[in-house]
Structure 1
Amino acid sequence: MTPGGKTVTMVAAVAENGVIGLAGNIPWHLPEDFAHFKETTSGHILVLGRTTHEGIGKPLPNRTTIVLTRDPEWQADGVLVAPTLLDALALADTLPGDVMIGGGAVVYEAALPYADVQIISEVHETPEGDTFYPQFSRSRWREVAREPRAGFDIVRWERAFGCGGTG
Protein backbone atom coordinates (compact mmCIF):
# COMPACT_ATOMS: atom_id res chain seq x y z
CA MET A 1 0.00 0.00 0.00
CA THR A 2 0.98 3.58 -0.42
CA PRO A 3 1.60 5.68 2.71
CA GLY A 4 -1.97 6.97 2.30
CA GLY A 5 -3.50 3.53 1.88
CA LYS A 6 -3.94 3.20 -1.89
CA THR A 7 -3.73 -0.24 -3.41
CA VAL A 8 -0.45 -1.01 -5.19
CA THR A 9 -0.69 -3.49 -8.05
CA MET A 10 2.25 -4.87 -9.99
CA VAL A 11 1.33 -5.62 -13.62
CA ALA A 12 3.77 -7.70 -15.67
CA ALA A 13 4.15 -10.28 -18.40
CA VAL A 14 6.59 -12.96 -17.27
CA ALA A 15 7.90 -15.96 -19.20
CA GLU A 16 8.13 -19.41 -17.63
CA ASN A 17 11.84 -18.78 -16.91
CA GLY A 18 11.16 -15.41 -15.24
CA VAL A 19 12.26 -13.34 -18.25
CA ILE A 20 10.54 -9.99 -18.79
CA GLY A 21 12.97 -8.44 -21.25
CA LEU A 22 15.91 -8.78 -23.63
CA ALA A 23 18.06 -5.80 -24.63
CA GLY A 24 15.34 -3.36 -23.61
CA ASN A 25 12.59 -5.13 -25.53
CA ILE A 26 9.86 -7.63 -24.72
CA PRO A 27 10.98 -10.96 -26.25
CA TRP A 28 7.50 -12.02 -27.45
CA HIS A 29 4.59 -10.48 -29.29
CA LEU A 30 1.20 -10.95 -27.63
CA PRO A 31 -1.21 -8.18 -28.71
CA GLU A 32 -3.90 -9.58 -26.40
CA ASP A 33 -1.56 -9.05 -23.45
CA PHE A 34 -0.91 -5.44 -24.49
CA ALA A 35 -4.69 -4.94 -24.58
CA HIS A 36 -4.96 -6.49 -21.10
CA PHE A 37 -2.23 -4.14 -19.79
CA LYS A 38 -4.09 -1.16 -21.26
CA GLU A 39 -7.42 -2.25 -19.78
CA THR A 40 -5.88 -2.98 -16.35
CA THR A 41 -3.91 0.26 -16.02
CA SER A 42 -6.27 2.76 -17.71
CA GLY A 43 -7.64 5.37 -15.36
CA HIS A 44 -4.92 4.73 -12.80
CA ILE A 45 -1.43 5.92 -11.88
CA LEU A 46 1.29 4.08 -13.78
CA VAL A 47 4.73 3.97 -12.15
CA LEU A 48 7.59 3.16 -14.51
CA GLY A 49 11.34 3.29 -14.42
CA ARG A 50 12.98 5.79 -16.75
CA THR A 51 14.37 3.13 -19.09
CA THR A 52 10.96 1.45 -19.39
CA HIS A 53 9.28 4.79 -20.05
CA GLU A 54 11.86 5.70 -22.68
CA GLY A 55 11.35 2.29 -24.31
CA ILE A 56 7.64 3.04 -24.64
CA GLY A 57 8.55 6.48 -25.96
CA LYS A 58 5.61 8.51 -24.67
CA PRO A 59 3.11 8.67 -21.83
CA LEU A 60 0.36 6.12 -22.30
CA PRO A 61 -3.10 7.63 -22.70
CA ASN A 62 -5.69 7.71 -19.92
CA ARG A 63 -3.09 7.14 -17.19
CA THR A 64 -1.10 9.45 -14.95
CA THR A 65 2.51 8.37 -15.37
CA ILE A 66 5.15 8.76 -12.69
CA VAL A 67 8.67 8.01 -13.91
CA LEU A 68 11.33 6.99 -11.43
CA THR A 69 14.82 8.32 -12.10
CA ARG A 70 17.86 9.17 -10.03
CA ASP A 71 18.74 11.92 -12.52
CA PRO A 72 17.45 15.19 -11.00
CA GLU A 73 17.68 16.93 -14.41
CA TRP A 74 15.58 14.36 -16.30
CA GLN A 75 12.14 15.36 -17.46
CA ALA A 76 9.69 14.43 -20.20
CA ASP A 77 6.46 15.93 -21.44
CA GLY A 78 3.31 14.53 -19.92
CA VAL A 79 4.83 12.67 -16.99
CA LEU A 80 5.57 13.33 -13.34
CA VAL A 81 9.01 12.48 -11.98
CA ALA A 82 10.07 10.99 -8.65
CA PRO A 83 13.56 10.09 -7.44
CA THR A 84 12.49 7.02 -5.41
CA LEU A 85 9.62 4.59 -5.22
CA LEU A 86 8.57 5.98 -1.83
CA ASP A 87 8.43 9.47 -3.33
CA ALA A 88 6.34 8.11 -6.21
CA LEU A 89 3.94 6.39 -3.80
CA ALA A 90 3.56 9.58 -1.74
CA LEU A 91 2.91 11.56 -4.93
CA ALA A 92 0.38 8.93 -6.03
CA ASP A 93 -1.57 9.52 -2.81
CA THR A 94 -2.35 13.04 -4.10
CA LEU A 95 -3.71 11.77 -7.44
CA PRO A 96 -6.88 9.94 -8.50
CA GLY A 97 -6.71 6.20 -9.17
CA ASP A 98 -4.84 3.25 -7.77
CA VAL A 99 -1.13 2.62 -8.28
CA MET A 100 -0.05 0.30 -11.08
CA ILE A 101 3.62 -0.68 -11.19
CA GLY A 102 4.63 -1.29 -14.82
CA GLY A 103 8.33 -2.08 -14.61
CA GLY A 104 11.14 -2.54 -15.23
CA ALA A 105 12.90 -5.08 -13.10
CA VAL A 106 14.44 -2.63 -10.62
CA VAL A 107 11.06 -0.96 -10.06
CA TYR A 108 9.28 -4.29 -9.63
CA GLU A 109 11.91 -5.36 -7.08
CA ALA A 110 11.53 -2.10 -5.14
CA ALA A 111 7.73 -2.25 -5.26
CA LEU A 112 7.29 -5.86 -4.17
CA PRO A 113 7.28 -5.09 -0.41
CA TYR A 114 4.53 -2.48 -0.94
CA ALA A 115 2.41 -4.44 -3.41
CA ASP A 116 -1.04 -5.67 -2.46
CA VAL A 117 -1.75 -7.37 -5.79
CA GLN A 118 0.26 -8.87 -8.63
CA ILE A 119 -1.41 -9.33 -12.00
CA ILE A 120 0.97 -11.49 -13.94
CA SER A 121 0.54 -12.63 -17.51
CA GLU A 122 2.30 -15.98 -17.36
CA VAL A 123 3.72 -16.29 -20.88
CA HIS A 124 4.03 -19.89 -22.08
CA GLU A 125 7.54 -19.41 -23.49
CA THR A 126 11.13 -19.66 -22.27
CA PRO A 127 12.92 -16.97 -24.29
CA GLU A 128 16.44 -15.74 -23.79
CA GLY A 129 16.51 -12.64 -21.66
CA ASP A 130 18.60 -10.30 -19.59
CA THR A 131 15.84 -8.82 -17.44
CA PHE A 132 13.83 -10.84 -14.92
CA TYR A 133 10.77 -10.40 -12.73
CA PRO A 134 11.67 -10.62 -9.03
CA GLN A 135 11.11 -13.92 -7.32
CA PHE A 136 8.49 -13.85 -4.60
CA SER A 137 7.48 -16.25 -1.88
CA ARG A 138 4.34 -18.05 -3.04
CA SER A 139 3.53 -18.69 0.64
CA ARG A 140 3.09 -14.93 1.14
CA TRP A 141 0.68 -14.66 -1.79
CA ARG A 142 -2.43 -16.50 -2.84
CA GLU A 143 -3.61 -17.05 -6.38
CA VAL A 144 -7.19 -15.77 -6.54
CA ALA A 145 -7.89 -15.90 -10.28
CA ARG A 146 -6.49 -17.49 -13.43
CA GLU A 147 -7.74 -16.72 -16.92
CA PRO A 148 -6.25 -18.80 -19.76
CA ARG A 149 -5.58 -16.93 -23.00
CA ALA A 150 -3.81 -17.82 -26.25
CA GLY A 151 -0.14 -18.19 -25.30
CA PHE A 152 -0.47 -16.96 -21.71
CA ASP A 153 -2.57 -17.04 -18.54
CA ILE A 154 -3.56 -13.92 -16.63
CA VAL A 155 -3.03 -14.70 -12.95
CA ARG A 156 -4.08 -12.48 -10.07
CA TRP A 157 -2.15 -12.85 -6.83
CA GLU A 158 -3.17 -11.12 -3.62
CA ARG A 159 -0.94 -10.75 -0.61
CA ALA A 160 -1.92 -13.34 1.98
CA PHE A 161 -3.49 -11.76 5.05
CA GLY A 162 -0.93 -10.95 7.71
CA CYS A 163 1.99 -11.46 5.35
CA GLY A 164 3.26 -7.97 4.73
CA GLY A 165 6.90 -7.46 4.05
CA THR A 166 9.36 -8.30 1.38
CA GLY A 167 7.25 -10.40 -0.90
Structure 2
Amino acid sequence: MKVSIVAAIAKNGIIGIDNRLPWHLPEDLAFFKQTTLGCPVLMGRKTYESINRPLPGRLNVVLTSNTDWQPAPAKDGTPRNVIAYPTPLPSGSTTQIATATNLPNALQWLARFEQIFLIGGSNLYQQALEQNLVDELVLTEIHQNFDGDASFPQWDRERFTEVDRITNPATSERTWAFDFVKYAQVNTGL
Protein backbone atom coordinates (compact mmCIF):
# COMPACT_ATOMS: atom_id res chain seq x y z
CA MET A 1 0.00 0.00 0.00
CA LYS A 2 1.31 3.44 -0.97
CA VAL A 3 0.31 6.32 1.31
CA SER A 4 0.44 9.74 -0.32
CA ILE A 5 -0.25 13.20 1.03
CA VAL A 6 -2.01 15.54 -1.38
CA ALA A 7 -1.98 19.24 -0.53
CA ALA A 8 -1.85 22.71 -2.04
CA ILE A 9 0.55 24.93 -0.11
CA ALA A 10 1.19 28.66 -0.35
CA LYS A 11 4.74 30.01 -0.30
CA ASN A 12 4.32 30.83 3.41
CA GLY A 13 3.01 27.33 4.25
CA ILE A 14 -0.68 28.24 4.43
CA ILE A 15 -3.16 25.55 3.31
CA GLY A 16 -6.48 26.98 4.52
CA ILE A 17 -8.49 29.72 6.13
CA ASP A 18 -11.84 29.27 7.90
CA ASN A 19 -12.02 25.63 6.66
CA ARG A 20 -11.68 26.59 3.00
CA LEU A 21 -8.95 27.19 0.47
CA PRO A 22 -7.62 30.77 0.49
CA TRP A 23 -7.23 30.83 -3.31
CA HIS A 24 -9.21 30.02 -6.44
CA LEU A 25 -7.17 27.62 -8.55
CA PRO A 26 -9.31 25.46 -10.88
CA GLU A 27 -6.20 23.75 -12.28
CA ASP A 28 -5.38 22.44 -8.80
CA LEU A 29 -8.93 21.13 -8.26
CA ALA A 30 -8.75 19.28 -11.59
CA PHE A 31 -5.30 17.91 -10.70
CA PHE A 32 -6.58 16.77 -7.30
CA LYS A 33 -9.54 14.97 -8.87
CA GLN A 34 -7.39 13.31 -11.54
CA THR A 35 -4.83 12.22 -8.92
CA THR A 36 -7.24 10.78 -6.34
CA LEU A 37 -10.13 9.42 -8.43
CA GLY A 38 -10.74 5.72 -7.82
CA CYS A 39 -8.63 5.62 -4.65
CA PRO A 40 -9.60 5.95 -0.98
CA VAL A 41 -9.15 9.43 0.45
CA LEU A 42 -8.51 9.81 4.17
CA MET A 43 -9.32 13.09 5.91
CA GLY A 44 -10.08 14.66 9.24
CA ARG A 45 -13.66 15.52 10.20
CA LYS A 46 -13.18 19.27 9.69
CA THR A 47 -11.85 18.67 6.18
CA TYR A 48 -14.86 16.50 5.35
CA GLU A 49 -17.25 19.12 6.75
CA SER A 50 -15.57 21.85 4.71
CA ILE A 51 -16.28 19.80 1.56
CA ASN A 52 -19.72 18.89 3.00
CA ARG A 53 -20.25 15.86 0.75
CA PRO A 54 -18.42 12.68 -0.16
CA LEU A 55 -16.02 13.07 -3.06
CA PRO A 56 -17.50 11.01 -5.89
CA GLY A 57 -15.71 7.95 -7.22
CA ARG A 58 -13.71 7.54 -4.02
CA LEU A 59 -14.08 5.83 -0.67
CA ASN A 60 -14.12 8.76 1.77
CA VAL A 61 -12.66 7.81 5.16
CA VAL A 62 -13.19 10.41 7.89
CA LEU A 63 -11.12 10.38 11.07
CA THR A 64 -13.13 11.50 14.07
CA SER A 65 -12.95 10.75 17.77
CA ASN A 66 -16.74 11.12 17.94
CA THR A 67 -18.07 7.60 17.33
CA ASP A 68 -21.60 9.04 16.90
CA TRP A 69 -20.59 11.51 14.18
CA GLN A 70 -22.88 11.62 11.16
CA PRO A 71 -22.27 13.62 7.97
CA ALA A 72 -24.80 16.15 6.75
CA PRO A 73 -27.59 14.56 4.70
CA ALA A 74 -27.62 14.64 0.91
CA LYS A 75 -29.16 17.67 -0.83
CA ASP A 76 -32.51 15.87 -1.02
CA GLY A 77 -32.45 15.30 2.76
CA THR A 78 -31.58 11.60 2.56
CA PRO A 79 -29.27 10.54 5.40
CA ARG A 80 -25.84 9.39 4.26
CA ASN A 81 -24.86 5.82 5.04
CA VAL A 82 -21.65 5.55 7.07
CA ILE A 83 -19.45 2.48 7.38
CA ALA A 84 -17.71 2.42 10.77
CA TYR A 85 -14.38 0.76 11.53
CA PRO A 86 -13.93 -2.31 11.53
CA THR A 87 -16.88 -3.17 9.23
CA PRO A 88 -15.57 -4.55 5.90
CA LEU A 89 -15.08 -1.87 3.26
CA PRO A 90 -16.37 -1.98 -0.33
CA SER A 91 -13.85 -2.41 -3.10
CA GLY A 92 -13.15 -0.16 -6.04
CA SER A 93 -14.21 3.42 -6.50
CA THR A 94 -17.64 3.28 -4.85
CA THR A 95 -18.66 6.64 -3.40
CA GLN A 96 -19.01 5.82 0.30
CA ILE A 97 -18.30 7.42 3.66
CA ALA A 98 -16.44 5.47 6.33
CA THR A 99 -15.22 6.53 9.75
CA ALA A 100 -12.32 5.53 11.97
CA THR A 101 -11.15 6.98 15.27
CA ASN A 102 -7.41 7.03 14.62
CA LEU A 103 -4.85 6.97 11.83
CA PRO A 104 -3.23 3.57 12.57
CA ASN A 105 -6.63 1.83 12.58
CA ALA A 106 -7.67 3.59 9.38
CA LEU A 107 -4.47 2.58 7.58
CA GLN A 108 -4.77 -1.01 8.77
CA TRP A 109 -8.40 -1.03 7.59
CA LEU A 110 -7.34 0.28 4.16
CA ALA A 111 -4.33 -2.04 3.79
CA ARG A 112 -5.80 -4.02 0.89
CA PHE A 113 -5.87 -0.93 -1.34
CA GLU A 114 -2.83 -0.18 -3.53
CA GLN A 115 -2.98 3.60 -3.07
CA ILE A 116 -4.39 5.85 -0.34
CA PHE A 117 -4.42 9.63 -0.32
CA LEU A 118 -4.35 11.75 2.84
CA ILE A 119 -6.14 14.96 1.90
CA GLY A 120 -6.10 17.03 5.10
CA GLY A 121 -6.10 18.77 7.36
CA SER A 122 -3.00 19.96 9.14
CA ASN A 123 -3.28 17.56 12.07
CA LEU A 124 -3.62 14.51 9.82
CA TYR A 125 -0.63 15.60 7.74
CA GLN A 126 1.44 16.17 10.88
CA GLN A 127 0.54 12.79 12.41
CA ALA A 128 1.36 10.92 9.22
CA LEU A 129 4.70 12.69 8.74
CA GLU A 130 5.74 12.38 12.40
CA GLN A 131 4.89 8.65 12.42
CA ASN A 132 6.80 8.14 9.15
CA LEU A 133 3.71 6.72 7.41
CA VAL A 134 4.03 8.69 4.16
CA ASP A 135 5.54 7.24 0.99
CA GLU A 136 4.92 10.22 -1.25
CA LEU A 137 3.99 13.91 -1.19
CA VAL A 138 1.91 15.21 -4.10
CA LEU A 139 2.01 18.97 -3.63
CA THR A 140 0.77 22.01 -5.45
CA GLU A 141 3.39 24.59 -4.51
CA ILE A 142 1.88 28.04 -4.93
CA HIS A 143 4.44 30.82 -5.41
CA GLN A 144 2.45 33.41 -3.46
CA ASN A 145 1.85 34.13 0.22
CA PHE A 146 -1.73 33.91 1.51
CA ASP A 147 -3.40 34.74 4.81
CA GLY A 148 -4.74 31.72 6.63
CA ASP A 149 -5.22 29.82 9.86
CA ALA A 150 -4.05 26.35 8.78
CA SER A 151 -0.52 25.51 7.73
CA PHE A 152 1.22 22.49 6.28
CA PRO A 153 3.53 21.01 8.92
CA GLN A 154 7.29 21.27 8.70
CA TRP A 155 8.68 18.15 7.04
CA ASP A 156 12.11 16.61 6.76
CA ARG A 157 13.09 17.38 3.17
CA GLU A 158 16.06 15.02 3.50
CA ARG A 159 13.64 12.08 3.82
CA PHE A 160 12.11 12.84 0.41
CA THR A 161 13.45 13.41 -3.07
CA GLU A 162 11.74 15.33 -5.86
CA VAL A 163 10.75 12.98 -8.68
CA ASP A 164 8.50 15.16 -10.83
CA ARG A 165 7.68 18.87 -11.30
CA ILE A 166 5.22 20.51 -13.67
CA THR A 167 5.60 24.29 -13.76
CA ASN A 168 2.60 26.54 -14.33
CA PRO A 169 3.62 30.16 -14.95
CA ALA A 170 1.65 33.23 -13.93
CA THR A 171 -1.05 34.40 -16.34
CA SER A 172 -2.95 37.63 -16.94
CA GLU A 173 -5.82 36.21 -14.83
CA ARG A 174 -3.56 34.81 -12.09
CA THR A 175 -0.54 36.90 -11.16
CA TRP A 176 1.30 34.05 -9.43
CA ALA A 177 2.84 30.80 -10.62
CA PHE A 178 2.46 27.33 -9.13
CA ASP A 179 4.02 23.90 -9.60
CA PHE A 180 2.68 20.38 -9.29
CA VAL A 181 5.48 18.54 -7.47
CA LYS A 182 5.85 14.91 -6.49
CA TYR A 183 8.30 13.87 -3.75
CA ALA A 184 9.06 10.21 -2.99
CA GLN A 185 10.36 9.01 0.33
CA VAL A 186 14.05 8.16 0.16
CA ASN A 187 14.66 4.47 0.72
CA THR A 188 17.32 4.37 3.40
CA GLY A 189 17.77 0.61 3.11
CA LEU A 190 17.56 0.17 6.89
Q: Same fold (TM over 0.5)?
A: yes
Report the alpha carbon displacement of residue 97 of structure 1 after superposing the two structures with TM. Answer: 4.4
Scaled by the length of structure 1, the TM-score of the pair is 0.90
Structure 1 runs (4+) greater than 3 angstroms displaced: none
Instruction: Name the Cα RMSD after superposition.
Output: 1.4
In the other structure, the counterpart of 2:74 is none
Residues 15-44 of structure 1: per-residue CA shift (max 9 Å, x gap): 000000111111000000000000000010
Q: Unpaired runs of 5+ in structure 1?
A: 1-5
In the other structure, the counterpart of 1:139 is 158
Q: Percent identity?
A: 38
Q: Unpaired runs of 5+ in structure 2?
A: 72-79, 81-95, 170-176
In the other structure, the counterpart of 1:121 is 140
Task: Give the alignment of 1:55-74 within 5 angstroms.
Answer: 55-74=50-69
In the other structure, the counterpart of 2:180 is 154
Aligned amino acid, residue 119 of structure 2: G
CA distance in 2, matches of 1:59, 1:37: 14
Contact 1:142–1:159, Cα closer than 8 Å, also in 2:
yes
SS in 1 for 2:126: helix
Aligned amino acid, residue 137 of structure 1: D
CA distance in 1, matches of 2:42, 2:70: 15
Residues 28-66 of structure 1: per-residue CA shift (max 9 Å, x gap): 000000000000000101001000001001000111110
Report the alpha carbon displacement of residue 75 of structure 1 after superposing the two structures with TM. Answer: 2.6
SS in 2 for 1:53: helix
Scaled by the length of structure 2, the TM-score of the pair is 0.80
Q: Do the aligned partners of residues 75 and 145 (structure 1) sit closer, same or farther apart at CA in structure 2, a change above 3 Å counting?
A: same
Task: Give the alignment of 1:47-62 within 5 angstroms.
Answer: 47-62=42-57
SS in 2 for 1:26: coil
CA distance in 2, matches of 1:105, 1:115: 14
